[in-house]
Amino acid sequence: MIEREQVLHVARLARLLLSDEEVERMREELSGILDHIEKIGELDLDGVDPTSHVIALENVLRPDEPRPSLAREAALSMAPQPGDTGFGVPSPGS
């Protein structure tokens, strides 16, 4: 079973606010899932390379030429607090 402190640490990394009830539930559920996942620890994987991408594609490049992109107004149109030239956010505080 993972510790309450671990759950809170991970939640902090993920910028997720969890209620006390959610922390407890997460402890149980994550522990159950991790127990299942840990079966891959039984496999002999020495010398096996990791796969991050399955299709052989490397260095996909395009000519470095300027072209129109999304207009600023369009990019700002869905923002909760649009400014004239950027996104408004609360102060980072102290």
Partner 1 sequence: MSELLDLTAAQTAASLRAGEVSTDELFDHSRARAANDDLGAFLWVAEDAPPPVSAQAPLAGVPLAVKDIFCAEGVPSTSGSRILEGYRPAYTATVVERLAAAGAPMVGKTNMDEFAMGSSNENSAYGPVRNPWDRERVPGGSSGGSAAAVAAGIAPWAIGTDTGGSIRQPASLCGLVGLKPTYGSVSRYGMIAFASSLDQAGPITRDVTDAALLFRHMVGRDPCDSTSLDHPEEIELPQADRLDGLRFGVPPELSGEGIEPGVLTVLKDVLGRVEHLGGTVNETRLPHSPHGLSAYYVLAPAEASANLARYDGVRYGLRAGNGDLLSMYEHTRAEGFGDEVKRRIMLGTYALSSGYYDAYYGRAQRVRTKIVADFASAFESCDFVITPTSPSVAFRIGERTGDPLAMYLSDYCAVPASLAGLPAISIPGGLSEGLPVGIQLVGPAFSENRLLQAAHALEGAIAFPTGPPPT
Cβ burial of 70 (10 Å; 0-12, 13-18, 19+) is exposed
Dihedral angle over CA of 7, 10, 15, 19, nearest 10: 0
- Contacts with partner 1 in 34-63 (CB under 8 A)? 34, 36-41, 43, 45, 48-55, 57, 60, 62
And the tokens for 2?
């993972």
87 binds partner 1 (CB under 8 A): yes
Cβ closest to partner 1, residue 66 vs residue 92: 92
11 binds partner 1 (CB under 8 A): yes
- Contacts with partner 1 in 17-36 (CB under 8 A)? 17-18, 22, 26, 29-30, 32-34, 36
